[in-house]
Structure 1
Amino acid sequence: MLIGPDGRSDARVQLFFRTGPMASARPLTWRRYAFALKVWLMFLDAVGTTWDAATVADMDAFKDWRLNDVRNLERVAPSTFDTDRAALNTFYTWASARYGVFNPIAPVARSGSMTTGEKRAGRDPGRPAGARRRQVKWVLRPAFEQWRDVGLRGYGFDGLRVQSWRGWNEDRDAAFVDGLYGTGLRLGEWASILDIEVPAGGVGRFPRTWLSAACVKGAKEGRKYFVPSTVLSTIAAYTDPLSGSRAESIARAQRAGRYEQVPGRRIVTGYNRRSRVLHVLDPSGSKPVSVDVLGPAERRLLFRKGENGLEPLSLWLSWDGMPRLAHSWEDTFAAANGRIQRAWSEAGGEGEAALWLRPHMCRHSFALKWFSILSLVWEPRIEGLSAEERKDLRDQIGDVWFQLATLLGHADPATTRDYYLEPFNSLQMDYLMSLLDGEETAAVDAMVTTMARAGGRTLAPITPGEASEVSQ
């Protein structure tokens, strides 16, 4: 609910979130759009106009204020403004169709080709020049482990534990980031899984499990994904009933009676792993409910009756025992990055530590690793084949991009190729393959290290004795 300075709410703005494509959007999408609208509406109120009377000049002034005005101490990066601007364009596109309101967001200019007559998109004049289409960065496995150990587990750059470290949620945080890096799931997807969806250990190195359709970004059906056995080990430590912090959080919540106070909670009496069906109590008895239809918000309402009271089915819990919201993990990453910077300075490092991590970088790194592995498998298959034979082979089993898109859950391999691994488009496959002639781990690291030198997109482990340079 967006409330104006006068204490009133515009019903037309509220209707935006209840109709059209936004009605079926995820809560995190609503939150993102609501914040973008809020900043815009506050700006318009400050300059004495309203959203339904805004002009292109108002949008230009808003852009300048958000990006350049030195009086604004909360200026943002071009990429952030570009995201907010896209949200506002969605709102005004809807409002113009429904209410005839003018859209002050400048449309993309289009120009015709003199030779073919085809239309091609020009640069949107309202889009900030510094906004990239995607900012893809990767992190090597050793650098990831260093980030995790220093930022989340209380180690210093000398490999020793900091004496003052308490680590209340260390096992939880380590298990979560290990899972992001090892599964390639998006932050919201990995944050939404239930403890009953964690695959049983002891079934190969990469046990397979299922991601609910209601938790997959922009998808109408669920998909399979793989969880490395090493990730299952860290989850097992976190969920251990005797030494894991999850059991401590649950006990803390039970003593405070928090679970009984959750409105709309649902009591689960059983689960069929094969059919992915829960049995949930209601006034008329136990009824089957498919986990595929349960989104993140509904999953936080699922509880079972344990020996000491109610227990949540959500895997990832806050210190107080309540299911953790996906966007709360952004704070965990920010705190870890800050802790690394402090440890870097205390160890004698100069400037900013060239070791940091954002949640989506784990997904990018997953894509890079599997691109390398799939390339190892694919290249021998096409060696010596004609162009037609290669096409037939791709039609039968798909190429590297198709297989990688399947691992990432992309509907179109072009999304994977254009957005996630765009820097590889300029390199020849034989050059990449020349780097992959050793053991798998060493080969993959050799290739991504070469890419790091070429484009500065990959983070490697650092030591305080080395010069610190932040990758751009």
Structure 2
Amino acid sequence: MPAEHFHPLLDAWAGTLRARETAAAIKVDTPILLSPDHEIDPRLVAFFTSSDFSGLSAASRITYAYEYKWWFEFLDRRSTAWDFATESDFAAYKAWRTDPTLHPVPRNRQEKKWVDGATWNKCPAALDHLYRWATKKGHVQESPLPDTKAGRGAAPASAVYSKNARSERAKWVSAATYRVWRDVGVAGYRLGVDGKRLVATTEDPRFRGRNVQRNTAFTDLLFSSALRRQEGGSLLIDEIPEVGQESYLGATAKRGTVRSWTAESAALTNLARYINVTRRAAVKRAQKAGRYDTMDPIWVDHIEVRSRHGEVLVTTNGAEWPLKDIDVMTRMRLMRSRDSGVHAGPEPLWLWLGEDGLPMNPKGWGTILHRASERFKSECERLGRPNRDIILLSPHSLRFSYALFVLVVLHQAIDRKYGYSPTEPYDENRYLSAYQHVRDILGHRSTTTTRNIYLEPVKGLRGKTIIGTRDVQAAIAALALTNPEVRDIAPVEYLSEEDR
């Protein structure tokens, strides 16, 4: 940043700021928390630069930093510092974060002050990480979290976590339902009724949404790949697989576990259109405006494939990085420059760009999908549709819906292979290989997680519902009749008597 952008007292530091940060082990993505008096706690700086914190994934570092900020702000209102917090402070904080009766009724989403169970559970995980380190360093005598005082092996008590973490899980939807939601919520079509089926009709002239091609490419990708929001949202343009081929995730995946992924051909075709049209136009605008001149880029010379390390990124100064080891924040700085042709000039390797041509933060996708769901809801209300027709989707919804689709396909394949009768009770052990495959595409650690938590609609369902249906989408529609978390907007009349 040029010196004129700093306070006069800092002008002398401006030219050597990067060197000073490097000497203090402060990396580009290191959190910096200021007190209300604009002071920095050197103990927190030591924590953020320690291996205990820097060894976390990029997503966890960002999440934890915000959890610390909100915790410290709450303590400040109680005239307490973080190193003097007690169990009663933590209990009060948990109530304040999770109990809606302690807050005014919000007029909009931004005013909502409480969080659901799954979101809350990030807080004790973050605080436990901080206070374990602080106890080890002698900065605090004990942790404010229950049951974290008894030595190295202690863990937070179950009381600090919410027991309602799954109550707010997103819904699973059929492909037909997803397409109507996408066309109405993301692409700006009007909602209509064709017979007894909800459909997207014509473009709504009142729709003011932007980046439709980019946004539909993203939702299509998640719906046909089971990628998480961060995984799909932090891809590089060079990581998009050809139709029928696989690509790999590494540092951007949850826990940094390397796994393969692929996507349906229709989603990859839509993605190619975004790259060649909308994205290309955004890059040209950024080049013309000189926006890439103010970035702090890592210039990439080329990417090559090596048998031992997979794809390796080679910078213009000769440095080499396995692509799977590059975290989110570093990826956003990767640039390449071409001398001639339609792609001449500097360009980010980051796949998803804003209208200004700059890399888009993966967290922004949550807001985009929320707005799409709100638009779909308003269209349902315009038609006077019942609440059961309102579809509210999140990145999790898209991911889990694809996993459910794959699971049903594999169930049907196993049924045909072994000749299982539709009248037999559902035995999940018969379908263990199906759950194992879905575990792998979701990136879960264990089959138990996949089977008992994320794909609950299938567990315990009578075999005849899956086996007796005409096709996969009819099977998912049949699941929707027995489980309210599976959504399908096709009316019951479209199903056979047996499916009902």
Category of TM-score, reference length = shorter chain: 0.7 to 0.9
Separation in 2, partners of 1:342, 1:330: 18
Matching residue of 2:221: 179
Matching residue of 1:46: 77
- SS at structure 1 position matched to 2:246: strand
Matched, 1:195 2:237: yes
Retained in 1: the 8 A contact 2:249–2:261? Answer: no
* Paired letter, 1:217: K
Identify which range, 412-421 or 85-94, moves more after superposition: 85-94
Consecutive unaligned residues in structure 1, runs of 5 or more: 109-120, 202-206, 385-392, 464-472
Consecutive unaligned residues in structure 2, runs of 5 or more: 1-31, 105-112, 149-154, 193-200, 421-428, 492-500
Alignment equivalent of 2:337, drawn from 298, 305, 308: 305
Matching residue of 2:203: 161
* Paired letter, 1:232: L
- SS at structure 2 position matched to 1:267: strand
- SS at structure 2 position matched to 1:227: coil
Q: Deviations over 1:116-174 (max 9, x none)?
A: xxxxx998334445443883531111111111101111101031111233553111111
Q: RMSD in angstroms over aligned alpha carbons?
A: 3.0
Separation in 1, partners of 2:221, 2:396: 12
Retained in 1: the 8 A contact 2:58–2:327? Answer: no
Separation in 2, partners of 1:422, 1:86: 25
- SS at structure 2 position matched to 1:422: coil
Matching residue of 1:435: 468
Structure 1 residues 70, 289: closer, same or farther in 2, change over 3 A? closer
Identify which range, 56-65 or 373-382, moves more after superposition: 373-382
Q: Deviations over 1:26-58 (max 9, x none)?
A: 232122111111111111111122222222222
Matching residue of 1:125: 159
Retained in 1: the 8 A contact 2:171–2:393? Answer: no
The Cα shift of 1:369 comes to 0.9
Retained in 1: the 8 A contact 2:57–2:251? Answer: no
Matching residue of 2:326: 294
- SS at structure 2 position matched to 1:32: helix
Retained in 2: the 8 A contact 1:246–1:317? Answer: yes
Retained in 2: the 8 A contact 1:154–1:161? Answer: yes
Matched, 1:82 2:124: no
Matched, 1:96 2:135: yes
Matched, 1:452 2:480: yes
The Cα shift of 1:273 comes to 9.0
* Paired letter, 2:325: V
The Cα shift of 1:271 comes to 4.4
Separation in 2, partners of 1:425, 1:60: 36
* Paired letter, 1:105: L
Q: Summarize the alignment of residues 210-229 of structure 1 with structure 2, pairs less than 5 Å apart.
A: 210-220=247-257, 222-229=258-265
Alignment equivalent of 2:212, drawn from 137, 152, 170: 170
- SS at structure 2 position matched to 1:426: coil
Q: Summarize the alignment of residues 259-338 of structure 1 with structure 2, pairs less than 5 Å apart.
A: 259-269=292-302, 271-272=304-305, 275-282=310-317, 286=318, 288-306=320-338, 307=340, 308-338=344-374
Alignment equivalent of 1:410, drawn from 430, 435, 444: 444
Retained in 1: the 8 A contact 2:146–2:157? Answer: no
TM-score, length-scaled by structure 1: 0.81
Separation in 1, partners of 2:452, 2:214: 34
Structure 1 residues 248, 354: closer, same or farther in 2, change over 3 A? same
* Paired letter, 2:248: L
Separation in 1, partners of 2:164, 2:442: 28
Identify which range, 65-74 or 315-324, moves more after superposition: 65-74
The Cα shift of 1:398 comes to 6.9
* Paired letter, 1:101: Q
Identify which range, 38-47 or 6-15, moves more after superposition: 6-15
Matched, 1:249 2:282: yes
Structure 1 residues 165, 292: closer, same or farther in 2, change over 3 A? same
The Cα shift of 1:416 comes to 1.5
The Cα shift of 1:96 comes to 2.7
Retained in 1: the 8 A contact 2:97–2:114? Answer: yes
Matching residue of 2:397: 361
Structure 1 residues 20, 339: closer, same or farther in 2, change over 3 A? same
Identify which range, 69-78 or 401-410, moves more after superposition: 69-78
Identify which range, 402-411 or 123-132, moves more after superposition: 123-132
Alignment equivalent of 1:105, drawn from 145, 159, 179: 145
Separation in 1, partners of 2:156, 2:334: 49
Retained in 1: the 8 A contact 2:117–2:162? Answer: yes
Separation in 1, partners of 2:401, 2:81: 44
Retained in 2: the 8 A contact 1:134–1:419? Answer: no
* Paired letter, 2:327: G
Structure 1 residues 267, 226: closer, same or farther in 2, change over 3 A? closer
Kindly tell me the number of residue pairs found equivalent between the two proteins.
423
Q: Deviations over 1:245-298 (max 9, x none)?
A: 11110111001111122113313345459852333211xxx5554322222222
Separation in 2, partners of 1:157, 1:270: 45
Structure 1 residues 162, 124: closer, same or farther in 2, change over 3 A? same
Retained in 2: the 8 A contact 1:215–1:295? Answer: yes
Matching residue of 1:31: 62
The Cα shift of 1:177 comes to 0.5
Matching residue of 1:345: 381
Retained in 2: the 8 A contact 1:410–1:416? Answer: yes
* Paired letter, 1:22: F
- SS at structure 2 position matched to 1:215: coil
Structure 1 residues 288, 6: closer, same or farther in 2, change over 3 A? closer
Separation in 2, partners of 1:125, 1:404: 32
Q: Deviations over 1:376-404 (max 9, x none)?
A: 223355568xxxxxxxx99xx97222222
Retained in 2: the 8 A contact 1:180–1:362? Answer: yes
Retained in 2: the 8 A contact 1:451–1:457? Answer: no
- SS at structure 2 position matched to 1:305: strand
- SS at structure 1 position matched to 2:357: coil
* Paired letter, 2:131: Y
Structure 1 residues 212, 56: closer, same or farther in 2, change over 3 A? same
